């Protein structure tokens, strides 16, 4: 556990799967390495050549689709929102993606890259979060966006 937050790090993929509703092949966060509830989170996704989207995007020059880089940032932001507002009672919560603004792609992500993900809370109004996400490889910015997410009751 970190002394300042009481959160045990790293958070591995098995625990991430208990929080996110996503499953293979759309689990886009392998590990959480930093977490300050209500403020910021960091983690990563290891990009492997055998991921299914590389068969068609693009066979001779594999590049991770931009929409999946955005999805990675959304998922790490969802983990921040979830950790900042843990569900009391028996009903588990889910984080819903509401929107995206100011998305920009700066460089391609290719097999073998470790996609370093981060999200920072910009604003919170009740269950709705406005987050800024970044994706980097080797310290170089690959993508950035502002995202809206909501913590909601999970349907039975």
* Model pLDDT for residues 98-121, shown as the tens digit of each residue: 999 999 999 999 999 999 999 999
Give the Cα separation of 133 and 153 in Å (integer): 24
**Whole-prediction pTM value?**
0.92
- For residues 56-68, give the mean pLDDT: 95
What's the distance, Cα to Cα, between the start and end of the chain in Å?
32
11-12, strands of its sheet edge to edge: 11-12, 31-36, 40-46, 114-125, 128-137, 140-153, 93-105
Domain ranges of the chain: 11-153
pLDDT above 80: residue 155: no
Tokens coding 74: 């959304």
pLDDT value, residue 11: 96
Q: Using CA atoms, how far apart are residues 40 and 49, in angstroms rounded to an integer?
A: 30
The architecture (CATH level 2) of 11-153 comes to Roll (3.10)
Q: What CA–CA distances, in Å, run from 67 to 19, 35, 85, 101, 144?
A: 21, 24, 27, 13, 12
Mean residue pLDDT of the chain comes to: 91
Give the active site residues.
57
3-state secondary structure 96-122: EEEEEEEEEECCCCCCCCEEEEEEEEE
Q: Mean of the pLDDT values across residues 128-154?
A: 95
pLDDT band at 94 (very low <50, low <70, confident <90, very high): confident
Tokens of 45: 């996704």
Residue 145 token pair: 């966006």
Give the DSSP letter string of 137-152. Answer: ETTEEEEEEEEEEEEE
Residue 92 is inside which H or E element, if any? none
């Amino acid at each position: 556990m970190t002394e300042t937050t009481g959160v045990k790090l790293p958070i591995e993929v098995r625990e991430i799967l208990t929080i996110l509703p996503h499953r293979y092949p759309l689990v886009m966060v392998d590990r959480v390495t930093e977490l300050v509830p209500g403020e910021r989170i960091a983690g990563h996704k290891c990009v492997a050549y055998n991921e299914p989207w590389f068969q068609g995007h693009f066979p001779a020059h594999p590049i991770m689709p931009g929409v999946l880089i955005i999805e990675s940032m959304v998922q790490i932001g969802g983990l921040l929102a979830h950790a900042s507002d843990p569900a009391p009672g028996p009903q588990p919560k889910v984080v819903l993606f509401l929107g995206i603004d100011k998305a920009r792609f700066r460089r391609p992500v290719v097999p073998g890259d470790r996609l370093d993900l981060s999200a920072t809370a910009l604003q919170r109004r009740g269950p709705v979060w406005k987050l800024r996400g970044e994706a980097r490889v080797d310290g170089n910015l690959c993508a950035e966006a502002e995202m809206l997410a909501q913590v909601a009751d999970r349907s039975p």
